[in-house]
Amino acid sequence: MTVATNAIGDLTDASLSGGGTDFIDITNHASSDDAREFVGGLTDFGTLTLSGNYDESDTGQNYLLDNPAASAAIVVTFSDASTYSFTGIIGKMDVDNGGLDDKVTFSCPIKISGKPTTASS
């Protein structure tokens, strides 16, 4: 997983949520069978949320922390070596100290902007 060519270390989860296509009501007096009519509007491809163990020396994590609201090239590589690439807007990275006897973790949302591309190896 890279953000602006920076590998993000110590990731424990990358989840995609939200998104969808808006439905636009185009019903009019000439619509047949007294039924509403719809067309698909714009598509939102959702948000990728990265989570992991925080490492203050990790270049990728520092990039996320230092660049909220930045637009960046994102490449996600899956276990089958296929890739999912898109431009994303980096959200605010949260760091949780986990308490006295627990690990320090981070979470960072990245909003997908435009349509992602996929490639198989």
Reported as a single tens digit per residue, the pLDDT across 20-48 is 999 999 999 999 998 999 999 999 999 99
For the chain, list residues with pLDDT below 70. Answer: 121
Structural domain boundaries in the chain: 2-19+45-119
The pairing of beta strand 105-119 with beta strand 83-90: antiparallel
pLDDT at 98 (0 to 100): 80
pLDDT at 121 (0 to 100): 67
Q: Residue 40 in contact with residue 24, Cβ under 8 Å?
A: yes
pTM of the model: 0.87
CA 38 – CA 35 distance, rounded (Å): 10
pLDDT at 81 (0 to 100): 87
Q: Which of 25, 23, 75 is nearest to 44 (CA)?
A: 23
